[in-house]
């Protein structure tokens, strides 16, 4: 059975939605976030996010892109929002009440030592 182009796009975005939602809900991170040393946590108490938060976050992050003509512009605004936000949250993070944090234990220590406060 041959799928129409719109059906392929829907199928790809559905797979992406499931992949990201499940990874974030179960472990707080995807394979890419594991390599980068980041994770998604609740903005309120930095605890693990819920399935609902993972679904809301990914629905806005993923399906925003497929809106004809406006999708790329809305996606750019969403991504660039972190540079002007006090908490460095994208709009999809604000809607889901989540935040992306750096997991220090996932990365090797930096090659330098910060200056001591006592020195």
Q: Which pLDDT belongs to residue 59?
A: 92
pLDDT of residue 116: 45
Is 74 within 8 Å of 67 (Cβ atoms)?
Answer: yes
pLDDT at residue number 1 = 52
Q: Which residues of the chain have pLDDT under 50?
A: 106-119
Domain presence at residue 116? no
> Rounded CA gap, 83 and 11, in Å?
32
Assess if residue 85 is contained within a domain. yes
**What is the tally of structural domains in the chain?**
1
C-alpha 56/C-alpha 67 separation (Å) is: 17
In a domain, 106, yes or no: no
Domain, as residue range, for 22: 5-101
- Looking at residue 45, its pLDDT comes to 85
Classify residue 59 as exposed, middle or buried by CB count within 10 Å of its CB (0-12, 13-18, 19+): middle
23's tokens: 């990874």
55 within some domain: yes
Please tell me the predicted confidence (pLDDT) of residue 107. 44
What is residue 110's predicted lDDT score, i.e. its pLDDT?
A: 44
pLDDT of residue 104: 60
Q: Is residue 113 part of a domain?
A: no
Identify whether 43 is part of a domain: yes
For the stretch 11-44, pLDDT in tens is 888 999 999 999 999 999 999 999 888 999 998 8
Task: Supply 68's token pair.
Answer: 């004809």
**What's the pLDDT at 115?**
41
pLDDT of residue 88: 86
């Amino acid at each position: 059975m041959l799928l129409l182009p719109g059906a392929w796009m829907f199928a790809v975005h559905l797979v992406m939605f499931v992949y990201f939602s499940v990874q974030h809900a179960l472990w707080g991170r995807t394979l890419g976030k594991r390599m980068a040393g980041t994770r998604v946590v609740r903005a309120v108490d930095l605890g693990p996010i819920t399935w609902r938060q993972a679904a809301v976050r990914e629905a806005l992050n993923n399906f925003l892109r497929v809106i004809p003509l406006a999708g790329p512009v809305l996606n750019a605004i969403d991504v660039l929002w972190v540079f002007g936000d006090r908490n460095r949250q994208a709009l999809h993070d604000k809607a889901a009440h989540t935040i992306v944090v750096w997991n220090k234990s996932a990365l090797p220590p930096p090659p330098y030592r910060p200056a001591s406060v006592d020195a």
